[in-house]
Each structure stands twice: as C-alpha cells, then as structure tokens.
C-alpha cells in the first residue's frame, strides 16, 4: 500500500482542486446555492463541502471527475495542459428549463469568443446544411422554431409544446445578443452554404405543421423572418462587408454536407464546433484535428462559388431561387 504521494503529484492535485473551485465559484457565485449543488451532486454533507471549498480537504479524483462531467468543464483548457489526447466537450443545453449551469456554459463560450472581437486575424467560418447559429438566433421566429424542434426531440416525450408556447428565456436572450455582438466584430466571417439548406428547414416546418404544433399564421411569421434573413444576407453579399465593416463572405457549395461545422480562431484559441441536437454544439480543441478540418474547409472553398463582392449573376440567381422556395412554400 502506498501511503505517501510525491511532492510533484501533491502540487498537481492541489492545482486541479484550486482550478475546479475557481470555476465553480464563477459558474455558481451564490455561496449557498453552490454548497447545496455540490452536496446533492457528490452525496456528501454540507460541512464536507465547506471543508473542500476552504481547501482544508481536497476533492477526491472521483469527485473532480463527477463535477467536470456534470458541468461540462474542460480542465485541459483551464489548466492550459499540453496533451496529446483529443479534447472533447459537448454542450447539452436544456432549453426548456435552463439551469444556472446551462447559462454559465453559454456565457463562458461567449467570453471565449471575445478574444476575437476587433482582432483582424480572428475567423468564424461555417460549413452548414442547416441555418448557421448566427442566423438561427438573429431572427426571433426562426429561433423559436429551432427551440420547438429541440423540445420536441429532447424534451418531455409526454408533453409536446406548440409553437405558441415556445419562447427563449430573458437570460438566454441576453446571452444570444452578446453572442451576436461579439461575432459581428470578428475580422473574417464566412458561410459555406449547402444549396439544400432551406429545403431541409421548410421540410421540418411542414412536419410540425402536419402534427399541428405550428398554426398557419405562425408559419407565415417564420417565412417572413426567413425572407428578411435572405434580404440581409444579400445586402452583405453585394459588398462583401458586414454592417460593422468586417469581411463577410458567402460561398455556395457544389457539394452537399452530412454534418455542420464551425471553424473558429480567436487569438491563440483554435477549435472546431460540430452542430448537434438542433441547437447544441460539440467542441473539439485538438490541434491535429483542427488542421485536418481546416484543410477540408479550404478545399470546400475551392469547390464552392463565392458570391460576396463577386459572382453577380450567381448571386442574383441564388437569392431569387431561395426566395421563391420560401414564398411558394405550402406545408
């Protein structure tokens, strides 16, 4: 039996404990709520939680693992540990009944993105066969539709909420607006758009109409949002610049996609997001994976048509075709 740990291992363990406590206090700043949360999560008495938060007793490895898993914490990122393992993080936000932890995870992601604001070298790129996140959340009826889809697929299977009952919470709306403000300041923003993106969206709307979760007048409101989105995109595509004066490119792919990816560079941070579960994201920080995905992004650009600041005929045809799809859509 080994009764003592080496000095190095003790220091590493203490560093991890201190980091976990710092993150916990940031995510749940109210002391009473934090203590109750940890007591219930770890199945220990509140006094035992007090001792751990005072650094009198360190968290066990099992306790740290439980906390990290429950709160979606990437210790590699926070400790800045160089690792050959792939860093994998999935953000599963409960859009029906968000918790403080859910909001904290989204807020942390926005904080991470702030490093790219007004940095001419920052990049935010989408490869997508569904509406990119920045478009999904920028238009209220489109956002509500995607929330409806999430709740139908991952909410209470016994209770299917209709569109008229689905709204983002005020706190989620605040975080969403912060996300839009931050990403609008990225040095370079681009979409690689699957030609069938709106077809998939309209098919989904048709399904929810057939099962009577969306009323005809609500479909018209969603269509109005989609048409406004297309108008806004076209204005940006004509100049190739966003309203904030940042480079903004729209590519139309000649290939169809099976998944949806985001490539993000903010200062020293580089990572790939994979869109999942309607409005959630998987985050991959592995450097080798990032480089491989970057090569794929660049190859897609070569096989796609740039309609921002060029390709006038293709741009006019694309937007006219998309508008016709929406205007003539009947569920």
Q: Per-residue pLDDT tens for 90-121?
A: 555 677 777 787 788 788 888 888 888 888 99
Helix residue spans in the chain (DSSP H): 7-27, 31-42, 46-53, 61-71, 75-79, 100-113, 133-136, 140-154, 170-183, 197-210, 216-239, 287-302, 312-327
More confident residue, 55 or 276: 55
Q: How many domains does the chain have?
A: 2
**CB-side neighbour CA atoms (13 Å) of 146:** 24
Average pLDDT, stretch 124-145? 90
Give the closest residue to 306 by CA, choosing from 228, 190, 169. Answer: 190
pTM summary value: 0.71
Q: Which domain-ending residue is among 19, 36, 71?
A: 71
Q: Of all residues in the chain, what percent carry a pLDDT higher than 90?
A: 43
Short-list 254, 278, 274, CA closest to 264? 274
Strand 123-128 versus strand 261-266 pairing type: antiparallel
Query: Are 220 and 289 members of one domain?
Result: yes
- Say yes or no: 150 and 272 in one domain: yes
**Structural domain boundaries enclosing 178:** 88-327
The answer to the question of residue 78 being in a domain is no
User: What is the reported pLDDT for 111?
Assistant: 86
What does the pLDDT average to over 216-233?
97
Asked whether residue 321 falls in the same domain as residue 184, the answer is yes
Which of the listed ranges 61-75, 154-168, 317-331 does the model predict with the highest average pLDDT? 317-331
* Position 163 pLDDT exceeds 60: yes
Q: Is 253 exposed, middle or buried (0-12, 13-18, 19+ CB in 10 A)?
A: buried
Q: What percent of the chain has pLDDT over 70?
A: 85
Distance CA 78, CA 135 (A): 30
pLDDT score of 184: 92
In a domain, 1, yes or no: no
Is residue 77 domain-resident? no
119 part of a folded domain:
yes
Look at residue 10 in the predicted model and tell me its pLDDT.
Answer: 37
- pLDDT bucket at 125, cuts 50 / 70 / 90: very high
First to last CA, the chain: 69
**91 SS3 class:** strand
Is 235 a domain residue? yes
Judged against a pLDDT cut of 80, whether residue 44 lies above it is answered with yes
Torsion of CA 173, 176, 180, 183, to 10 degrees: 160
- The confidence band for 13, taking pLDDT boundaries of 50, 70 and 90, is very low
* Residues 122, 270: Cα–Cα separation, whole Å: 10
pLDDT band of residue 158 (cuts 50, 70, 90) is confident
In this predicted structure, the answer to whether residue 73 has a pLDDT above a threshold of 60 is: yes
Mean pLDDT (the chain, rounded): 83
For residue 94, CA distances in Å to 12, 51, 91, 106, 109 come to 34, 31, 10, 11, 16
Q: Where residue 27 falls among pLDDT bands split at 50, 70, 90?
A: confident
DSSP state of 60: P
Residues 283, 194 share a domain: yes
Q: What are the tens digits of pLDDT across the range 262-292?
A: 999 987 788 888 765 455 567 777 788 889 8
Q: Which tokens hold the place of 143?
A: 């956002």
């Amino acid at each position: 039996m080994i009764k003592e740990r080496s000095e190095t291992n003790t220091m590493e363990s203490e560093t991890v404990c201190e980091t976990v406590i710092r993150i916990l206090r940031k995510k749940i700043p109210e002391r009473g709520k934090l203590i109750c949360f940890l007591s219930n999560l770890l199945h220990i008495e509140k006094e035992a939680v007090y001792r751990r938060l005072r650094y009198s007793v360190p968290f066990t490895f099992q306790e740290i693992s439980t906390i990290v898993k429950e709160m979606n914490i990437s210790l590699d990122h926070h400790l800045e540990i160089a690792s050959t393992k792939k860093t994998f993080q999935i953000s599963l936000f409960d859009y029906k009944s968000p918790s403080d932890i859910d909001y904290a995870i989204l807020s942390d992601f926005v904080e991470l993105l702030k490093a790219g604001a007004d940095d001419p070298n920052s990049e935010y790129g989408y490869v997508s066969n569904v509406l990119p996140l920045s478009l999904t959340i920028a238009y209220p009826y489109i956002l509500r539709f995607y929330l409806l889809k999430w709740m139908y697929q991952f909410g209470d299977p016994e209770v299917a909420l209709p569109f008229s009952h689905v709204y983002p919470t005020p706190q989620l709306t605040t975080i969403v607006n912060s996300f839009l403000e931050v990403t609008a300041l990225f040095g370079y923003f681009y979409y690689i758009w699957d030609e069938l993106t709106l077809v998939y969206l309209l098919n989904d709307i048709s399904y929810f109409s057939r099962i009577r979760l969306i009323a005809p007048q609500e479909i018209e409101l969603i269509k109005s949002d989609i048409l406004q989105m297309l108008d806004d995109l076209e204005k940006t595509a004509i100049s190739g610049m966003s309203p904030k004066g940042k480079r903004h490119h729209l590519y139309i792919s000649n290939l169809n996609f099976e998944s949806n990816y985001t490539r993000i560079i903010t200062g020293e941070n580089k990572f790939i997001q994979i869109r999942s579960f309607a409005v959630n994201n998987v985050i991959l920080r592995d450097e080798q994976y990032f480089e491989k995905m970057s090569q794929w992004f660049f190859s897609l650009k070569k096989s796609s048509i740039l309609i921002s600041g060029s390709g006038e005929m293709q741009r006019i045809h694309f937007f006219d075709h998309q508008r016709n799809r929406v205007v003539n859509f009947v569920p």
